[in-house]
Amino acid sequence: MLEGKNALITGSTSGIGLGMARALAAQGCGLMLNGFGDADVIEKVRSGLASEHGVKVAYNRADMTRPWEIEALVADAWAQLGSLDILINCAGIQHTAPVEAFPPEKWDAILAINLSSSFHTIHHALPHMKAKGWGRIINIASVHGLVASVNKAAYIAAKHGLVGLTKVVALETAGLGITCNAICPGWTRTELIEPQIVARAQALGVDIEEGGRALLAEKQPSRQFVSVEQLAQLAVFLCSPAAAQITGAPIPIDGGWTAQ
């Protein structure tokens, strides 16, 4: 379905971003991967995706806290792939603490990576999409872009801001063949959430799996984690012709969390 299209996915060397990369590559989409990690592991992922799906896959380790590196990342994606049709902003970090104990440097880092980096990628990607008359921008927000929880001031501020940014970009590109939407996952079993599961297990004196069930029971009525594959298939759908009139939407995929 996406043969001939090319995507830049930030934070795509692990977790949700890597799941998005696998799903798009399976649809024939070329990729620019981005993120940190062991160089040999990343190269194995890059070459594996390229050989398995017969698409071009490049990699750029741009730091999402540095606007000048983000600008270079977008330029590199266009230069190496030949076009930039799809942008998925997935880079994110987390820290939990009460507001009065929240380290200011953590606040700054979370806002930079979880919110400001998406502004910078969109800012530089939009001219390429407008020139072609087609584009899909998908921001990986969170259920916490729609509702709040304690001890997550920076993350929630960033994700609420990302939902707002999504709506503005959708309005500014309406009718131009470009859509901008936000996917808002509930609890998803990734590296980002694992420390919270461990903390819950330790607080309750139970094993990791029981800690995960306790975390789910607090917020997510389905009592099941959202899977990376489910999120990735939603992204594929948003890139399809069927989703051409879906824009500016924060789409929950949260096991009923925000229905409460």
pLDDT tens for the chain, 260 residues long, are 899 999 999 999 999 999 999 999 999 999 999 999 999 999 999 999 999 999 999 999 999 999 999 999 999 999 999 999 999 999 999 999 999 999 999 999 999 999 999 999 999 999 999 999 999 999 999 999 999 999 999 999 999 999 999 999 999 999 999 999 999 999 998 877 788 888 888 888 888 888 888 888 889 999 999 999 999 999 999 999 999 999 999 999 999 999 99
* Rounded Cα–Cα distance for residues 10 and 34 (Å): 5
Write the Ramachandran bin of 182: left for phi over 0, alpha for psi from -120 to 50, otherwise beta: beta
Which residues are part of the catalytic machinery?
155
Provide the token pair at 193.
């959430």
SS3 239: coil
Domain 6-186+227-252: top CATH class: alpha beta
What is the residue extent of each domain of the chain? 6-186+227-252, 187-225
